[in-house]
Amino acid sequence: MKKLLVLGVGNILMMDEGAGVHAIHKFWKEKENYDETLVDFIDGGTFTQDIFYLFEEYEQVLVLDIVRAGHEPGTLYSLDENDLVKNEKQVLSLHDVDLLDSLDMARMRGHRPKLKVVGIEPDKIDWGTEMTPVLVKALPSFMNVAREHIEKLLN
């Protein structure tokens, strides 16, 4: 069992909705900085419950996604699973319900990893393959927060 799955989710055809996937694509370019026996970086796309079986192979899952909580676009969030369940105003795009359900399915099959989320507040979600300038500017900070969590989770 590997220590960590870093899962980027989102729809890259819907502007800022694809921030988590864009981040994963950048992590792929720096994979040599990480021990591949401990961590995997996966593009989860629009994430469906069909990939719940992946969770069984990891101790922890770090999800990179947008978070719509009504703050300024580009605002960064670090959330634990309790934050997602207890705070109904904290909405992780459309993927959070599938994500929590998938974790429960993994538990029923024998192993449920711990969940952590790094999120970013979107500016605009509409048809388009480019993120808005606000999110393009905030993406390096989003990546840095994710790197900090990866480092903590791997140690």
Q: In this predicted model, which residue has the larger pLDDT, 49 or 53?
A: 53
% the chain with pLDDT above 70: 90
pLDDT of residue 94: 47
With a CB cutoff of 8 Å and minimum separation 6, the contacts of 147 are none
What are 107-118's pLDDT values in tens digits? 788 888 999 999
pLDDT for residue 130: 97
Average pLDDT over the chain, rounded to whole? 89
Give the pLDDT of residue 90: 56
Q: Give the range among 62-66, 72-76, 78-82, 149-153 with minimum mean pLDDT.
A: 78-82
Q: Burial, 21: exposed, middle or buried (Cβ in 10 Å; 0-12, 13-18, 19+)? A: buried
CA separation for the pair 35, 57 (Å, rounded):
16
pLDDT at 48: 65
- 7 forms beta bridges with 42, 63
At 88 the pLDDT is 59
Alpha carbons 50 and 52: distance in angstroms, whole number: 6
pLDDT in tens, 31-52: 999 999 999 999 998 876 777 8
Domains annotated on the chain, with CATH: 2-154 (3.40.50.1450)
Taking the CB of residue 71, how many other CB atoms lie within 10 A of it? 11
For residues 50 and 88, which has the higher predicted lDDT (pLDDT)?
A: 50
Q: Which two tokens stand for residue 123?
A: 């500016």
Whether pLDDT at 95 is above 60: no
More confident residue, 97 or 83: 83
Residue 93's pLDDT band, with cuts at 50, 70 and 90, is: low
Instruction: Please compute the mean of the pLDDT values over residues 148-153 and round it to a whole number.
Output: 97
Residue 149: partners with Cβ closer than 8 Å, 6 or more residues away:
62, 78, 116, 118
* N- to C-terminal Cα separation, the chain: 15
